[in-house]
Amino acid sequence: MEIGGLLTTAMAVMPHRDAERALRTALSLDVPFWPQLPLLSYYEDMYVQASEHFPGIWVDMENRTMGFSMDRFIEEFEEVLAHFEEPDYFDISKTYSTVYHRFLQIDLLSRPAIRGQLEGPISFGLNVLDQDKRPILFNETVRAFLLDFMAKRLNAQLGRLKALNPNAFMFVDEPGLQYIFSAMSGYDGIAGKQDMEGFFAAVDRPRGVHLCGNPDWDFLLGLDLDVLSLDVYSNGEIFTSYAGSILRFLKRGGRIVWGIVPTNFEPFSNESVESLEKRLLECWRVLEQHGIDRELLLSQSLLSPATCCLVNHDGEVTVEKAFSEIRALSQVLRERFKLPG
Per-residue confidence (pLDDT) for residue 218, from 0 to 100: 92
Is pLDDT larger for residue 296 or for residue 190?
296
Q: In Å, how far are 30, 167, 168, 207 from 164, measured between CA atoms?
A: 15, 9, 8, 17
Alpha-carbon distance of 159 to 149, in angstroms, equals 16
What number is the average pLDDT over the span 37-50? 97
Give 201's pLDDT tier (boundaries 50, 70, 90).
very high
pLDDT of residue 176: 82
Measured in whole angstroms, the distance separating CA 275 from the mean position of its chain's CA atoms is: 26
pLDDT of residue 214: 86
pLDDT at 184 over 70: no
For residues 223 and 216, the answer to whether their CB atoms sit within 8 Å is no
List, in order, residues 6 or more apart from 271 with CB less than 8 Å away: 261, 262
Reply yes or no on whether the pLDDT at 175 is more than 90.
no
The predicted structure's pLDDT at residue 213:
87
Q: Whole-number mean pLDDT of the chain?
A: 95
Q: What is the pLDDT of residues 236-272, one digit of tens each?
A: 999 999 999 999 999 999 999 999 999 999 999 999 9
Residue 182 pLDDT more than 80? Answer: no
Look at the domain 7-336 and name its fold.
Answer: TIM Barrel (3.20.20)
User: What percent of the chain is predicted at pLDDT more than 90?
Assistant: 90
CA distance 188 to 210: 21
pLDDT of residue 255: 98
Cβ–Cβ < 8 Å for 12, 264: no
Q: Are 279 and 233 in contact (CB under 8 A)?
A: yes
